[in-house]
Amino acid sequence: MTDHPRTAIITGAAAGIGRATASLLSTEGWRVVGIDRSDADGVDLVVGDAGDPAVLADALARCDRSLDALICSAGIPPSGPWDSREHWDEVLRVDLSAPYEALRVCWPALVTAGGSAVLVGSIVGAAEGSLRSPAYAAAKAGVEGLARSFAIIGAADGVRVNVVAPGAIATDFDERLLPADHRTDVPLGRMGTAEEVAGVIGFLVSPAASYATGAVWTVDGGRSVLSSADATRLR
């Protein structure tokens, strides 16, 4: 047993998957520092841009520069217009460049602690394209390449890096195209919850996942393995 709690920085900690993960880790005794653009009750939060090195450094200072886990959950949801260069630049900045910057800034602290990182990706980009937002699909596909690369970089120092790739999750982030409890495009028949994704993240930053790195952990109720023919049969 250590004399101090494990520490984690979570970006996008004010809502959705980030907040659910912060709540889970706090309940398990972690010292959690969040980063988000807006404040939230019940979370030790640095208010600011998750891709800003100064904001990341502030969060790191609150952890006494020893970091057991970095969880990058901040992001912009799929939206349009698809042919807007301004939209493309903003989505790539937030959904791909910001996780890279978080890894870059926090890396020495992760090495010191022998910690791990989890990047929140999506089945969009890796398993699916996006009619509304090629920028989102490109960024989330890039997150997987980023994680695999940092998994190799960190291996010698015992730093693990993984991706959690959610499907349809019942948060404000996900547009409700079908009722949450009646998803004919999902074998389990419903949207997932932020807490279910947080449970996988909690596992990945725990000692139980000590041999897992460079992997993509899909949390989508089976959606990405459902063929269009079988989806028709489920309706």
Residue appearing with tokens 């930053």: 205
Nearest to 25 by CA among 12, 10, 40, 14: 10
- Gap between the Cα atoms of 208 and 206, Å rounded: 5
Burial of residue 82, with CB atoms counted within 10 A of its CB: 0-12 exposed, 13-18 middle, 19 or more buried: middle
**Candidates 88, 136, 150, 173; catalytic one:** 136
Question: Tokens 């841009």 label which residue?
Answer: 49
Sequence-distant contacts of 40-43: CB under 8 A, at least 24 apart:
40/13, 40/14, 40/15, 43/13, 43/14, 43/19
Tokens 């901040």 sit at which residue? 74
Told to judge if 136 belongs to the known catalytic residues of this protein, a careful annotator would answer: yes
State the DSSP code for 201.
H
Judge whether 36 and 50 are in contact, CB under 8 Å.
yes
Cα gap 100→83, rounded to integer Å: 25
146 CB-near residues (< 8 Å, 6+ apart):
96, 99, 100, 103, 119
β-sheet with 7-11: strand ranges across: 45-47, 31-36, 7-11, 69-72, 116-120, 160-166, 216-219
Catalytic residues: 136
